Amino acid sequence: MEGRVLARGRARWFFAGHLVVTAASLLLLLALGALDVNVEDRPAWVLLGVMLALYVPAGWITARWQGWSRPTPGEGVRAVLLPALTAWAWALTGWGLVTLTPQSEVGMWMLLSTGLFATPSFFLMLLTLLHLATEPLWQPVWYLAMGLAGLLPPLLFVLGSILPKRRLTTAENVIN
């Protein structure tokens, strides 16, 4: 049975799927680390693409499992923005604690925890830092990458959740 679900419900299921994608991404990174793969090359960006692409099937599977109907445009926007705003708030709070207060250790732990709780986003940040290593920091590319690090996971998850599902009642699927 398909049903409407509030953006908060979709966001809760995004967070659950996000933890599964993060665990899979961490395992992938650990496996490649054991193989001594150089992450400074182009394959690292491909690996990042694979990690981010995992959000699409996670969204598709969750939507099928939960029986979600296609969200309205407003519901879809809220389902993307709620997790993205949460990620941005976490990152900005950590950054603020590191740079603006004597609580820099707490802020640093907040930022480093994203490596465990948001591996694809953290990997995007690291690759961007490696790319900008010879440039002055805080280039526009940095801000774009940090915005995408918070936005891409929920966006890809929601896009996966609205992928069409195969109906068993179509003429080509009916067994005579």
Report how far residue 82's alpha carbon sits from residue 67's, in angstroms, rounded to the nearest whole number. 21
Query: pLDDT by residue for the chain (176 residues), tens digit each?
Result: 344 556 667 888 888 888 999 999 988 888 877 566 565 667 788 889 999 999 999 999 999 998 888 888 888 899 899 999 999 999 889 888 888 877 688 888 988 888 888 999 999 988 888 877 776 666 788 889 899 999 999 999 999 999 876 655 555 555 54
Does the residue 48 lie in any domain? yes
Structure tokens at 38: 């150089």
CB atoms within 10 A of CB 130: 12
Q: Can you give the pLDDT at residue 7? A: 64
Q: Can you give the pLDDT at residue 99? A: 84
Report how far residue 96's alpha carbon sits from residue 106's, in angstroms, rounded to the nearest whole number. 10
Does the residue 138 lie in any domain? yes
Q: Can you give the pLDDT at residue 1? A: 37
Q: Can you give the pLDDT at residue 2? A: 44
Q: Can you give the pLDDT at residue 40? A: 61
Q: Can you give the pLDDT at residue 98? A: 86
Q: Can you give the pLDDT at residue 24? A: 92
CB atoms within 10 A of CB 108: 14
- Buried b / exposed e over 139-159, threshold 16 CB at 10 Å, is eeebeebbebbbbbbbbbbbe
By the 10 Å C-beta count (0-12 exposed, 13-18 middle, 19+ buried), 135 is classed as exposed
**CB-CB contact of 111 with 98 (8 Å):** yes
Domain count, the chain: 1
Does the residue 133 lie in any domain? yes
Determine the structural domain holding residue 128 and report its residue range.
7-163
Does the residue 34 lie in any domain? yes
Does the residue 64 lie in any domain? yes
Q: Can you give the pLDDT at residue 22? A: 92
Q: Can you give the pLDDT at residue 167? A: 58
Does the residue 55 lie in any domain? yes
